[in-house]
Amino acid sequence: MAIVSDGVVRMANLAIVSSHAVNGVAELHTQILKERIFANFHELFPERLTSVTNGVTQRRFMLKANPGLAELLCDAVGRDWITDLERLAEIEPFADDAAFRESWRTIKAANKERLTAVVRDEACVAVDPAAMFDVQVKRIHEYKRQLLNGLRVADLYLTLRDDPDMDIVPRTVLFGGKAAPTYWTAKTIIHLINVLGARINADPLVNEKLRVAFLPNFRVSQAELIFPGSDLSEQISTAGYEASGTGNMKFALNGALTIGTLDGANVEIAEAVGAENIFIFGMTAEQVAEHKRRGYDPRTWVNASPRLSRVLDFIEGGSLTPEEPTLFRQTVDDLLSYDRFMVLADFDAYVAAQDVVDAAYRDTESGPAARS
Ligand SMILES: *Cc1c(COP(=O)(O)O)cnc(C)c1O
């Protein structure tokens, strides 16, 4: 609990001691702070750690960013949701209104057209607005696991190469996010996504079913165009690491469904939308902690999954960057020797959850009642 020890200032300890309240920003993260990270402080100051889940403003991320949807909602239930988000619950009965659903889809299609132009202008990639827009936008960090998404895109590419006639929903996988200037591993992940995208987009055997784009310079003004045009929200951090997340909320408010782990505010989103309206996969924060206690062996997962093994061989093989074939060797070596964020352990569950997403996307009409 020392503020200064081993020659360093412990900033979090300093912050707790000098504050009258410390927010855990989501229920799960607050619980982790109280039970693990700051258990001693919680014992000493039992009132200090509080839990007020993060939020985003619907004025920017719905009213301004998605005027089409905002108008539909206002026509249906009035304007009160603009200053009182809880009032959005009043649209629930409209799930049974076929005309409302049709208007909803028309608005989403227009927002996807708008996003298609952004992807063309900013990433120089042509995408089809009729494809599912599967989107991960956030700072690049190992715990957020853009690499897990990259591995699954590579797996889909290899699978499609083997069977180009496979019956899947065409997908456009969009990435966006900045990395800190000295964060070499993160920069390498951006590089990997870009070369993977270049390979896939140029391959006529697969590019009608799969396209990949990395949007440079992810920022709020660009985000305002991305969230309304997204179908699937990727929130796939290693459970226990994402304090809350707010991107998850912006997507959800614009009608994108979430594929994600039980982490941060995803847990509360899952409670709010119901288990049948979210695609949850992978280890829980408890299971992640248990693996860390017992000693996590990444090779176990590779040995158990021929699919995973094939993807790692492909990435490591060097064919994505013939001018520098060893570029991703370190990335794969790190996964095989440490895999600090347990990407490999969640890979098979993630791929399986994406198949469930596929089936749900085809089913445009049935709501939770019809599905259960
Ligand atoms: C919302 C937002 C974030 C945070 O996204 P997370 O998914 O919560 O990490 C980061 N950058 C921009 C530009 C955003 O709009």
Domains of the chain: 4-50 (no CATH), 58-371 (3.40.50.2000)
Q: Which residue has the least CA distance to atom 10 on ligand 1?
A: 138
Q: Is the CB–ligand 1 distance for residue 176 below 6 Å?
A: no
Cβ atoms of 298 and 334 within 8 Å: the answer is no
Ligand 1, atom 6, lies closest to the CA of: 247
> What confidence score (pLDDT) does residue 370 get?
47
Q: What is the pTM of this model?
A: 0.97
Q: What is residue 256's DSSP assignment?
A: P
Ligand 1 centre distance from Cα of residue 154 (Å): 25
CB of 233 closer than 8 Å to CB of 135 = yes
**Which ligand 1 atom is at minimum distance from the Cα of 246?**
8
Give the Cβ contact number of residue 147 at 10 Å.
24
Q: Which of 54, 62, 138, 259 to mutate to test the pocket of ligand 1 (most atoms within 8 A of CB)?
A: 138
At residue 249, what is the residue type?
M
**Residue 58's CB: how many other CB atoms inside 10 A?**
22
pLDDT at 365: 82
Instruction: State in Å: Cα 2 to ligand 1 middle.
Output: 33
CA of 11: how far to CAs of 1, 2, 6, 16, 240, in Å?
A: 11, 10, 13, 9, 21
pLDDT value of position 364: 87
DSSP type of residue 16? H
Beta-carbon count within 10 A of 33 CB:
22
Contact 251, 136 (CB under 8 A): no
Rounded distance from Cα 61 to ligand 1 centre (Å): 12
For position 367, what pLDDT does the model report?
Answer: 58
Contact between residue 236 and residue 245 where contact means Cβ atoms under 8 Å apart: no
**What is the predicted pLDDT for the residue at 372?**
40
Question: Is the C-beta atom of 219 inside 6 A of ligand 1?
Answer: yes
For 54-97, the pLDDT digits (tens) are 999 999 999 999 999 999 999 999 999 999 999 999 999 999 99
Collect all residues with Cβ–Cβ distance below 8 Å to 354 and sequence separation of at least 6: 152, 259
Q: Does ligand 1 lie within 6 Å of residue 141's CB atom? A: no
Residues in the chain where the model's pLDDT stays below 50: 369-372
Q: For position 209, what pLDDT does the model report?
A: 98
Please say whether the dihedral angle defined by the alpha carbons of residues 350, 351, 355 and 361, taken in this order, is positive or negative. Answer: positive
Q: For ligand 1, is residue 245 a contact (CB within 6 Å)?
A: yes
Residue 209 CB–ligand 1 contact under 6 Å: no
Asked whether 349 and 282 are in contact (CB, 8 A), the reply is: yes
Residue 185 near ligand 1, beta carbon < 6 Å: no
Q: Which tens digits make up the pLDDT trace of 188-247? A: 999 999 999 999 999 999 999 999 999 999 999 999 999 999 999 999 999 999 999 999
pLDDT at 371: 44
Q: How far is the CA of 138 from the centre of ligand 1 (A)?
A: 5
Cβ(42) – ligand 1 distance below 6 Å: no
Q: For ligand 1, atom 7, which residue shows the shortest CA distance?
A: 247
Atom of ligand 1 nearest to the CA of 245: 8
